[in-house]
Structure 1
């Protein structure tokens, strides 16, 4: 399955169905047990989170937020880049990385084209003309083969990286986060589990530091940051006229959208409700709402699906308030559609990713049942008994390299069950090895094929793979260094038992 995922011999979700066929026939797991792996609580949380994200996209709330933030931070090239990256990162915490990138790329394209039309900046490099004007009459290259300017590359690629880094900030932000949650909670059923509030407290600071140091790196190589006399720095000096043009474009786009509709306000309110339900389910410092209602274990999927149900119940138009009006002309004549419809969900929900997560959980369950991951961990005994920081660093670097060439979720599915067993062999808290490694599966920055956001960003500006590899290698190194610096310290404060070996690992 790992080979099929890497080389994509079959579509990734189809490969993920192999356990359903082979595990029962090979006597590893029966059909019932294998089937249960495909729709765990984690998958239901994934579905709930995605439906909420689709509702935000459906009413175009995300675009309004993006435009207002860009208008707020300013429109000089560096500040505009900062604003675009910030919006993408925070949007990507809640919706899929691919959707966040796909939302931002048209905004960037429109802004750059408008600036170019006004004679401020260039999207593509112009053809050099020699002294004898020999090239003047040469045909212009096809737009598909034009070379983007460094500024253009910085705008596009930083947006893709912001989507990948932003996905780490929230547990529903990325498939690798949910893969980790599913494998960890399945393998260690007596553990406290992965809590939304603790995840946010640990990963949001890491995400912010990673992103803004990476942005400085990208602006340094593409926009001449800290190199005021370089050609790159001179090219982005657009002056007050350029800023005014960019600001005017953003303002016109906001005006085109009109005032905020009831649909957008209702979705924004329910989105806020979902975050509050996730955060206060088990916030540690006070009793969570779930504990006040029932003694049964309530997880984040329940919170997500409360909001999903409300999205299908609350109408998108407020004319229902006039249903008993004395003025007949105000009474609604037809039923209002809900905030989101099932047809939209069917079209936009990436159903294949549910199978991909499920296939990984089935592999993890079979690895545990057949003792395969235990066998691998014992063969890696030499590594497992190294100092725990060294084991974590080796695992993270290995995951970062692998994820440049393979599906992020597939890499997590292959590595995490083995790390769970290595934690047992090395007598280390499983979270210490598994959490940072799962984050590293999102460090796919080096190639357009590494992750969909990279491909979406590279295509419109014809960015060469070599340019992306150069920029992405620096961002990968920055991400790893920030992870190594912050996780052992801040992680130890938030997860107080991180330095110990819990008794529930052996159960």
Structure 2
């Protein structure tokens, strides 16, 4: 890079400097060429479709982890590589990118966007804070509660981005009333580019919101991409399995765990960052005295709520169609009673129709019924076209379409592994795990998932780990869901680094949080989330999925 060289210092830069600059600017291009070449012996030294598939999966895994090629572009590699390597034909490969699970996921994203589009999520957040209370601890409880709940239904990144300005307004009001200090003293932590670093009390609100959105995303099937990954891979590997990962059973499995984890998060941050059980500490004294200014903070939140105005027809309709989607998913084929899809048994109805019908309604129904006011002589005739509940421009701009490719790439690789015999080969290689206790395998899978997802995006890690666990389950003769569920959920638990998950990156940039403070704050949440997911897998799991041993039809 010529621009990086100062000719005044040296007209002929040293080779070491040039190599350093070349590597700094071109390492991604080098890796994208070197990785496929270095991995060639995997398929050249040993004949067989299973080794050609292993070669492709190894390349995709390394490219996903290093991100030398954009994640979503790497996810398109199976479209040409799988047919070229003779693993599956093009039609079967491309179908993996448009499966029922993916349509459900994309539809869920679109419906979540409609909630953002009409600001219904902001109204819900402000109302919850007003109801819970406005002392510092109650405010923090309100932040944890509403962030956890909203992130069950819309993306955790959108939830966190919405909460950040609300948290900032709350903290500024607390500081204005001498309740809490928001920023550290520059003598202890110098500002960077004029931006100060938040105090531990402020960190509790920002990081607590990020972690709560991650935990909340594990509460429903549409909460985060990893949930759809392990559902899709499981159903692709065992299409005739009696036990399904459907919407009601997923929530019955995960909601108790999410409630416990959110409660532990609130308790943990109160102890470590808000002075609970330390009444003589500086932050403890500030927080305990904060109840005196609760009316002032409540007034600020109430003003923001009043600015939204009364609940509009737009918001009411979005809430209605959102409820329709949830009800349709719950009552499709719940198992405990006859669902509407069971009654319409002429063809097999999966989850995508439950989501796409409300999506169609969002683009069809008018946001405001001004024409009826005119007919009733209560308003003028509309002078311009009435907008729909959701616009395509907003949808096209805000839906993370690349995430659909990412999930589809994982499904394609999983199907190729099964068809090529690589899955069977992997199962034979993991035969030593038969001597391990089942809970030990489950715990180790969760630890590996959490460790890997802290350094890379969680969906690729789930794409890598879940197919392996499918084969481990067959080897140790345990029901695959017993391993897949906790490990798939654990792929979301990235609490240490901004790169681990979008909510971490959002609060880190918004509040100027140093990595060391986020890494420190994530230690205990990581520990108790792993413990709770394993405990849940051996308690609640047995109520939702009573069969733990491997069924004969899966062997």
TM-score normalised according to structure 1 size = 0.94
> Is the Cα–Cα contact under 8 Å of residues 179 and 290 in structure 2 kept in the other structure?
no
Between the aligned partners of 1:458 and 1:331, the Cα distance in structure 2 is 49
Between the aligned partners of 2:424 and 2:432, the Cα distance in structure 1 is 14
Residue 396 of structure 2 is aligned to residue 337 of structure 1? no
Pick aligned residue for 2:467 from 411, 417, 421: 417
Between the aligned partners of 1:94 and 1:338, the Cα distance in structure 2 is 21
1:32 alignment partner in structure 2: 91
2:76 alignment partner in structure 1: 17
Between the aligned partners of 2:379 and 2:338, the Cα distance in structure 1 is 49
Structure 1: give runs of 5+ residues left out of the alignment.
Answer: 130-139
1:301 alignment partner in structure 2: 352
Deviation at 1:384, TM superposition (A): 4.3
Between the aligned partners of 2:280 and 2:292, the Cα distance in structure 1 is 21
1:457 alignment partner, SS class:
helix
Deviation at 1:435, TM superposition (A): 0.9
Between the aligned partners of 2:78 and 2:434, the Cα distance in structure 1 is 28
Residue 419 of structure 2 is aligned to residue 369 of structure 1? yes
Deviation at 1:329, TM superposition (A): 5.9
Aligned residues: 494
Deviation at 1:55, TM superposition (A): 0.2
1:106 alignment partner in structure 2: 165
Between the aligned partners of 1:487 and 1:394, the Cα distance in structure 2 is 13
The 5 Å alignment of 1:207-286 reads 207-286=258-337
2:182 alignment partner in structure 1: 123
Between the aligned partners of 1:145 and 1:203, the Cα distance in structure 2 is 39
Deviation at 1:355, TM superposition (A): 0.3
The 5 Å alignment of 1:8-407 reads 8-127=67-186, 141=191, 144-192=194-242, 193-322=244-373, 324-325=375-376, 327=377, 330-407=380-457
1:330 alignment partner, SS class:
coil
Residue 490 of structure 2 is aligned to residue 440 of structure 1? yes
Between the aligned partners of 2:346 and 2:478, the Cα distance in structure 1 is 31
Deviation at 1:318, TM superposition (A): 1.1
Against the structure 1 CA distance between its residues 328 and 259, is the aligned structure 2 distance closer, same or farther, given a 3 Å change threshold? closer
Against the structure 1 CA distance between its residues 259 and 25, is the aligned structure 2 distance closer, same or farther, given a 3 Å change threshold? same
Deviation at 1:377, TM superposition (A): 2.7
1:504 alignment partner in structure 2: 553
Between the aligned partners of 1:328 and 1:447, the Cα distance in structure 2 is 56
> Is the Cα–Cα contact under 8 Å of residues 279 and 288 in structure 2 kept in the other structure?
no
- Deviation per CA, 1:155-204: give whole Å up to 9, x if none: 00010000100000000001000001110111000013211111111100
* Aligned CA-pair RMSD: 1.7
Between the aligned partners of 2:310 and 2:193, the Cα distance in structure 1 is 37
Between the aligned partners of 1:144 and 1:381, the Cα distance in structure 2 is 57
1:460 alignment partner, SS class:
helix
- Deviation per CA, 1:43-78: give whole Å up to 9, x if none: 100111011000000000000000000011111111
Against the structure 1 CA distance between its residues 72 and 322, is the aligned structure 2 distance closer, same or farther, given a 3 Å change threshold? closer
- Deviation per CA, 1:115-159: give whole Å up to 9, x if none: 323443221023459xxxxxxxxxx94574423111000000010
* Greater RCO (Cα-Cα under 8 Å, separation 6 or more): 1
Between the aligned partners of 2:439 and 2:61, the Cα distance in structure 1 is 27
Against the structure 1 CA distance between its residues 505 and 144, is the aligned structure 2 distance closer, same or farther, given a 3 Å change threshold? farther
Deviation at 1:500, TM superposition (A): 2.4
- Deviation per CA, 1:469-493: give whole Å up to 9, x if none: 1211210100011112122111111
Deviation at 1:114, TM superposition (A): 2.7
> Is the Cα–Cα contact under 8 Å of residues 197 and 282 in structure 1 kept in the other structure?
no
Between the aligned partners of 2:308 and 2:84, the Cα distance in structure 1 is 57
